[in-house]
Amino acid sequence: MNIIFLGPPGAGKGTQSKILEERHGLVQISTGDMLRAEVARGSDIGNQAKALMVAGKLVPDALIIAMLKDRIAQPDCQKGFILDGFPRTLAQAEELDTMLAADGKSIDVVLFLDVDEEILADRISGRFTCAKCGQTYNEASNPPAKEGECDACGSHEFKRRADDKRETVVERLKEYRNLTAPILPFYEKTGRLRKVNGMLPAAEVTAEIEAALEDSGAITKK
Ligand code: AMP
């Protein structure tokens, strides 16, 4: 089963795809995480991407498509994967179908996490992760049970993404509106798009996602 998560920044794609990864034995592929790792390593790709990411702009299609192509060819992706943050342009969506078809594969379901734009900026500026294990939190909706201590690993160190600043978020939302939202009709036309209400509490969003996956025939009810 191969799945795509679509939705604006802050819609919950990362949170929900990690849950699906665990439940269904799929591999989560976050192109944003991959790029941040390249930036941290100071690689060629990282150096090309860094300034664009800090400015809230998308990186060029050719760069991200080549990176994604290498990743989905890895053995761990053969059982199925969840794309979180890719595709983000129509060219990426089309190229993805072409590269999968060449391997006899396809995207089974595209889950669109629908969230009103007004609440995204607050959501994004409140989020942070554990610096040690990567557990995600939000100041308003999902703080650690004990303030300042990670629920998962007990660490006291947390970090925020450089591009989660309000000014950058405005730019990221603009890129989403102009370049990514126009992909939705592409998947709708081919009957793969399932819309999920991303404004519900996280557990209810997960339940809606599971129902959408069942409905599409991608999984059978346990
Ligand atoms: P994300 O973690 O998915 O929000 O991605 C963080 C940043 O990485 C984005 O704002 C873009 O600069 C870049 N990025 C991630 N995925 C893509 C993609 N599929 N196409 C272009 N840029 C991307």
Task: Say yes or no: CB of residue 77 within 6 Å of ligand 1.
Answer: no
Task: Say yes or no: CB of residue 8 within 6 Å of ligand 1.
Answer: no
Which of 17, 61, 88 maximizes ligand 1 atoms within 8 Å of its Cβ, making it the mutation to test the pocket?
Answer: 88
Whether the predicted pLDDT of 221 surpasses 70: no
What is the pLDDT at residue 122?
87
Burial 27-40 (b: 16+ CB within 10 A, else e): bbbbbbebbbebbe
Q: What is the pLDDT of residues 34-59, one digit of tens each?
A: 999 999 999 999 999 999 999 999 99
What is the pLDDT at residue 222?
59
- For the CA of 58, the closest atom of ligand 1 is 22
Active site residue 192: no
Query: What are 109's strand-pairing partners?
Result: 3
Query: What are 4's strand-pairing partners?
Result: 83, 110
- With beta carbons less than 8 A apart as the criterion, state whether 29 and 96 touch: no
Task: Say yes or no: CB of residue 10 within 6 Å of ligand 1.
Answer: no
Q: Mean pLDDT over residues 79-108, rounded?
A: 97
Q: Give the whole-angstrom CA distance, residue 167 versus residue 2.
A: 34
Indicate the SS3 state at residue 128: strand
Indicate the SS3 state at residue 117: helix
Whether the predicted pLDDT of 66 surpasses 80: yes
Q: Give the whole-angstrom CA distance, residue 182 versus residue 176.
A: 9
Q: What is the pLDDT of residues 139-175, one digit of tens each?
A: 988 999 999 999 999 999 999 998 999 889 999 999 9
